[in-house]
Amino acid sequence: MAYWLFKTEPDAFAIDDLARANTLWEGVRNYQARNFLRDQVQVGDRVFIYHSSCKQVGIAGIGKVERAGFPDPFAFDPDSPYFDPKSDPAAPRWYAVELAFERKLPLLPLAALKANPALSGLPLVQKGCRLSVMPVSEAEWQAILAME
DNA sequence: GCCAACGTTGGC
DNA sequence: GCCAACGTTGGC
């Protein structure tokens, strides 16, 4: 089992929304993040849900992967804001996974994550990181849980 | 709302 | 294949 961190803007989709129902994690339009979703995220992996671009940025909870990478259906839907005419169903460009809710965490603020020396290798805390899907090592996972 | 950092696009 | 221009991300 592997560990991940997924970013989301809570105004659009928050941990409380995940708590209500499973969700497709779709609309990821970055190749590095896509590669993780397509090639490495597996059923049973656990995921920190990070709230970005909001009042209180930080890790807000934990999800669990219910379904591994499959072609992002929104990329084929002309009515979706995530539509990408260059994504060919025969060779899909973008991928999604399905997530289930595990539990909420007391919000662990970005500033606290940055201040934790055990997390200095996590892309999230590095300058200008725009990666929205990133691996978390076992040691980092445990270090973050210890901040609860 | 500002702006720095980054990824992508497209002309050459 | 380079690189400038552009659009987007995301913290503050």
The CA–C1' separation of A80 and C6, in angstroms, is 23
Tell me what pLDDT residue A83 has: 86
Which domain, by its residues, includes A96?
3-145
A114 CA: nearest nucleotide by C1': C11
Digitized pLDDT (tens) for each residue of chain A, 148 residues in all: 999 999 999 999 999 999 999 999 999 999 999 999 999 999 999 999 999 999 999 999 999 999 999 999 889 888 888 888 788 888 899 999 999 999 999 999 999 999 999 999 999 999 889 999 999 999 999 999 999 8
Strand C contacted by A110 CB (< 7 A):
yes
CA-to-CA dists, residue A92 to A5, A30, A69, A98, A132, angstroms: 23, 14, 11, 17, 19
Tell me what pLDDT residue A25 has: 96
Tell me what pLDDT residue A87 has: 82
Tell me what pLDDT residue A90 has: 81
**Count of structural domains within chain A:** 1
CATH number at residue A28: 3.10.590.10
d(CA A11, CA A139): 30
Strand B contacted by A52 CB (< 7 A):
no
